[in-house]
A and B are shown apart, each in its own frame.
Chain A
């Protein structure tokens, strides 16, 4: 029987459904040996076709699904009309970093999750369209600078040039304030430059966005570790800043605390990724910070950072690159797309497997990893089935590098030098609420991972946007009362 149903007399024939446009990718075997971008982006005709799938809902849920509330139907309509530059300019009213968010945002859990088209099929590929228009704009000359308002005479310090800090800086310079960003590293971008690998997010994109900010007049001070060079109090009392935003992220790695974790060849994912992404160790001798080549590499963890680390290990020439994860695949916090990419490239998954000891030789180098098989136990009061070790299931894997990617917490430096800054019990900065981003210290605001713990780029940007609004209100009124009320 034919799949096509006959149209009844008098009925309007249905338009054939346009499938969600897939994105071209580098061949998995080829890309596992290079650091070039994995996904290649839409071509113009693909973008226009994908845009035509959007039904322009009158009450678009996708906007509320976006942490920075981009007018998604608005920009997609412009793509459909092939007004790509206008589409890019439209997004930039809401989002400073569309080329970044189009690549690394978990759209499947945000805007695309609530897309009406997705109720009866696959959602509109919002992220891919966002990436397309941002890349199109970048390929078609320098973005014209918007007109800036007259100067207010107010000075704001932004601590950390990550996605949250960059967003605050952009919003406040557009309101006429003087903005100085203090970045601890020698490059701006935070996790976008030290954490996310080149093959997922080319660094030229981040540099372009940062340059856009400096062209707008943001003063960017690199190699400035706040808490060491200057304290928050000094910034406010001696350097004349009227407000400070802290967006210093959560860069302190966690470890497993199992025997052997101090052996040579054990890395935190932060170190491993920073050496590659920021210091370009993969490009030795062009860059003078090489990294040891390892044959058998185990990455501990199942998040996006673990996937980035294991895929980096493959590209650095590992014969065997493993994900060792104590839970099952269903519990992995990494994006499905990243897990699939890793699998296609040849990463070997050891799920329901927990490391209990790193084994070393007499010279102090890693030679193996002892693991236990895990089983999911009975559901607890919350209904969650937690992994428990299977008795007598110990086994040893031959290994010469172990990379720990099991999470991070806040670097305590700023808190240690700012005694009146209240922290929650996990060590993150306590804010009044997510809208005002006010800390316990007058004139000091905070947002992103330093408040929430490790989260996503777009959530940090959303916090930055809220903080900028709150800072603006404070600078205009000088009020520092709950919720800004008298």
Chain B
């Protein structure tokens, strides 16, 4: 995969968010019961917000980006991969989403190490940071749920 410009990278990231949005929308449609349906719909809405944020991103602002420290609970990092199955439980849905964010973050982190252009590097860092925020939000949700169960 090669990116010629910052616009290319943003375009790619928008496509990834759109793919995630479609994934959750389709999963929601396949759910027969209200519980899973609601959760997937809420995730699809969240991805839509991420996509809009990228669409509104001005490439000129990338150079001024300074990475912030985002906590990483690493809840999903030690888990086995999980694939979507209709009717999966709420914790499984959270695991599925956490794993997707973990992979997305890792992808952008890898990209940071493979580019030389300062602007490109900054943008990948920015994208990685966004995924780290999503991962943290999901892992916090998951951690709260599991803490109640004694985990």
B82 within 8 Å of A (CB atoms) = yes
- CB-CB under 8 A from B90, the residues of chain A are 409, 425-427
Contact indicator A357/B78 (Cβ below 8 Å): yes
B77 to chain A, nearest CB (A): 8
User: Do A257 and B149 touch (CB < 8 A)?
Assistant: no
Report which of A333, A388, A389, A412 forms a contact with B148, defined as CB distance below 8 A.
A333
Contacting pair A388 B149 (CB below 8 A): no
Contact partners of A416 in chain B: CB under 8 A = 32-33, 87
Which A residues are CB-close (under 8 A) to B91? 254, 409
Q: Contact mask B107-151 → A, CB, 8 Å, 1/0? A: 000000000000000000000000000000000100101111111
Whether A453 and B148, one on each chain, are in contact in the complex, defined by CB atoms closer than 8 angstroms, is yes
Q: By the criterion CB–CB under 8 Å, are A302 and B42 in contact?
A: no
Which residues of chain A are near B78, meaning CB under 8 Å?
258, 354, 356-357, 372
Report which residue of B78, B79, B143 has the largest number of chain A beta carbons within 10 angstroms of its beta carbon: B78
- Say yes or no: is A422 at the interface (Cβ < 8 Å to chain B): yes
CB nearest to B81 among chain A residues: A257
Cβ distance B105 to chain A, nearest Cβ, rounded Å: 16
The reply to whether B149 and A408 form a contact with Cβ atoms under 8 Å apart is yes
Interface residues of A in 398-424 (CB under 8 A from B): 405-409, 412, 415-416, 419, 422-424
Contacts of B87 in A (CB 8 A): 412, 416
On whether the beta carbons of A378 and B146 are closer than 8 Å, the reply is no
| Chain B residues positioned under 8 Å from A409 (CB to CB) | 89-91
Contact of B140 among A257, A300, A380 (CB under 8 A): A380
Whether, in the assembled complex, B2 has its beta carbon less than 8 Å from a beta carbon of chain A, the answer is no
Q: Which residues of A contact B25 (CB under 8 A)?
A: none
Q: List the B residue with the shortest CB-CB distance to A257.
A: B79
User: Does A89 have its Cβ within 8 Å of any Cβ on chain B?
Assistant: no
Interface residues of A in 299-314 (CB under 8 A from B): 300-306
A44 at the interface (CB under 8 A from B): no
Chain A CB within 10 A, most for which of B73, B78, B145, B150:
B150
Also in contact, A389 and B74, with CB within 8 A (given A407-B150, A407-B151, A408-B149): yes
Is B38 an interface residue, CB under 8 A from the partner?
yes
B99 (CB) vs chain A CBs: closest residue: A257
Q: Is B1 an interface residue (CB 8 A)?
A: no
Give the interface size class of chain A: 35 or more
Do A423 and B146 form a contact, CB below 8 Å, given A252-B89, A301-B151? no
Cβ A302 vs Cβ B89 within 8 A? no
Q: Mark A285-308, 1 if CB is under 8 A from B, else 0.
A: 000000000000000111111100
- CA distance in complex: A332, B78 (Å): 22
Complex CA distance for A256 and B150, rounded to whole angstroms:
12
Which B residues touch A138, using CB under 8 A?
A: none
Interchain CB contact under 8 A, A303 and B89:
no
* Residue in contact with B35 in the complex, picked from A256, A327, A378, A425, CB distance below 8 Å: A425
The verdict on A377 contacting chain B, using a C-beta distance below 8 Å, is yes
Closest to A253 in B: B149
- For chain B, residues 3 to 27, give those with C-beta under 8 angstroms from any C-beta of chain A: none
**Which residue of chain B has its CB nearest to the CB of A409?**
B89
Contact at B79–A454, with CB atoms within 8 Å?
no
Binary contact track A377-388/B, C-beta < 8 Å → 1, others 0: 110100000111
**Interfacial chain B residues near A256, Cβ < 8 Å:** 79, 151
Contacts of B39 in A (CB 8 A): 425
**A334 part of interface (Cβ distance < 8 Å):** yes
CB of A147 within 8 Å of the partner chain: no
Q: Is the CB of B148 within 8 A of A407?
A: yes
CB A397 to nearest CB in B, in angstroms, measures: 16
Within the assembled complex, what's the spacing in Å between the Cα atoms of A258 and B76? 9
Residues in A whose Cβ lies below 8 Å from that of B34: 422-423
A254 adjacent to B146 (CB under 8 Å):
yes
| B68 proximal to A (CB < 8 A) | no
Alpha-carbon distance A307/B73, docked complex (angstroms)? 26
Q: Are A301 and B149 touching (Cβ within 8 A)?
A: yes
Interface residues of B in 49-86 (CB under 8 A from A): 71-74, 78-80, 82
Whole-angstrom distance from the CB of A359 to the nearest CB of chain B?
14
Q: Which of B32, B71, B149 contacts A380 (CB 8 A)?
A: B71
B98 to chain A, nearest CB (A): 10
A380 to B148, CA, bound (A): 17
Interface residues as binary, A339-374 with B (CB distance below 8 Å gives 1, 0 otherwise): 000000000000000101100000000000000100
Q: Nearest Cβ distance between residue A464 and chain B, in whole angstroms?
A: 22
* A306 pairs with B150, CB closer than 8 A: yes
Would you list 25 pairs from A and B whose C-beta atoms are within 8 A, ordered by A residue? A252-B89, A256-B151, A257-B80, A257-B82, A258-B80, A300-B151, A303-B149, A332-B150, A357-B78, A377-B71, A380-B140, A388-B72, A388-B74, A407-B145, A409-B90, A409-B91, A416-B32, A419-B33, A424-B38, A425-B38, A425-B39, A427-B33, A427-B36, A453-B148, A454-B149
Known: A326-B151, A406-B150, A425-B42. 19 other contacts (CB 8 A): A257-B79, A257-B82, A261-B80, A300-B151, A334-B150, A354-B78, A372-B78, A377-B71, A378-B71, A380-B140, A388-B71, A407-B151, A408-B149, A416-B32, A416-B87, A424-B38, A425-B90, A426-B35, A428-B35
The 6 A-B residue pairs with the shortest CB-CB distance, nearest first, are A407-B149, A303-B150, A406-B151, A423-B35, A301-B150, A356-B78
List residues of B whose CB falls within 8 A of some A CB. Answer: 32-36, 38-39, 42, 71-74, 78-80, 82, 87, 89-91, 95, 140, 143, 145-151
